[in-house]
Structure formats: structure tokens, C-alpha cells
Structure 1
Amino acid sequence: VQRDVIAQHLESLHKELEQCNSSAVKTRLMKSRVMGRRFSSHHLVVWSLPWFIEHRAFESLCAFIIMANSILVGANVVWHTFNDDKNAWIQGGSHFCSAFFLVELVLRLLASGCRRFFLGDGRGWNIFD
């Protein structure tokens, strides 16, 4: 029963990914069709990750976290101008942003692969990150 539910979910994901703009995802889908492979949970992760990181909502979240981190950097400078101790809220926010940026970097690396990440079109931003 659970296998049927997973198969239905993967089939709906397959249809959704066909509409995706990512050429890497489309290539994987075509290879899977030609080779007649069955869907598995590994395919779900492999196909979903590029779609997820290229999604407008994820990009918007990343932009929001960048802006929030910029505000925290400014707040930290102002705080240290008038105080000698550390502000726990500012430090916590900075740690959260750093952790988010690390997770984002790892997701982008996993989705694109090492070669495309460091040698592809967006290599300048990837290396900068």
C-alpha cells in the first residue's frame, strides 16, 4: 500500500518536473524514460533538489536572509559602538544566518555537482559564496 502511495507521489512529481525550466532535471528525466528505470526515493531527491533551489520561493528566502544578515551586521556595529558586551539576539541571528548560508551552499553544491558548481555559468557567485 505504501509503495503505491509513493509511486503515485513520484508520478505527480514527474509531471511537475517536466514543466521545470532546469535542463539538468529534464536530462535526468529523459535518461530515466529511455532506460526504462523505475522511480525510487533516490530519484525523488536527485530530481527535486535542482527544482527546489531554482524555485522562486527559495530564491526569495535566500534574498530575505541576506538582507536580514546585513541588518544584523549593522546592528552589531551600532551595539558595539555603545556597549562592551555582546547582544545575545544579534549573535543568535548572526549564527542562524551563517547556518542557513552553509546549508544553502551545500544544497547548491549537491544539486549541481562539483564540476558544474565550480566550472559552470554561475561559478563566480559560487566561489564568492
Structure 2
Amino acid sequence: MGLIAARRYSSCMHGSTSAAASGRVAHLVDRRPTVSPERLVAQLTPPPTFADVSFATYRPDPFQPTQAAAVAACQEFCRQAVQRRAGRRNLLGRRVVLPGVGLYLDGGFGVGKTHLLAS
């Protein structure tokens, strides 16, 4: 198994001085980390291990009927998203902004939420 690169957070830690250098005890509440919106959005992607997944490759547990229901809900959500994207246009040919919708997936570790998201 390969090594996982550690993320370096020192570049995003602002507004604090080194407690060790000043001789005082460091307190977590004294830290004021900031992350730029661009960095935050750039990191909101599934890991590369999910690059080739699809709804067809998801295998729901037959003893957990909610997993099969989640696949169906995700497929329907995507179908509706395509229709919404092709939505109406106004008189100037611009797309009409439709109200936002979303899908919430809840479950324990390793049940396939990221697989479905990446699909």
C-alpha cells in the first residue's frame, strides 16, 4: 500500500504566533485558521479512487434495502437534474434560474455514499 501524502495546514494558519517561541502554553482556542473559498471548493471533489465508478458498479447490500433505494433516488435525482439544466429560457434566450434542490445521503462508514456521489 502506498504512502498517503500529508496535507500541510501551516500555510492556512493565520493570526497566531508561535506559543513555543514566546514561552507560553498553546491553546487550541487561540488558533484562527482560515481557508480561502477557492481552496475549499477545489477540495470538494471525491478522491481519485472513485474516478471510474458508476451507478452500475455500486453493489447494494441485499440485507439493507435502503441502499437499493438510495441508488434509485440518486439516479432519479440525476435524471431530474438533466431536465432542469435543459430548462426553460426567457425571451432573451437566457436560462431561467430554477430553485435549487439537493439530495442528502446519510449512512455509516463504507456503505457507498461517496460512490453514489461520484456516480
Structure number having the greater helix percentage? 1
Higher relative contact order, structure no. (Cα contacts within 8 Å, ≥ 6 residues apart): 2
TM-score with structure 2 length normalisation? 0.34
Higher alpha-carbon Rg: 2
TM-score with structure 1 length normalisation? 0.32
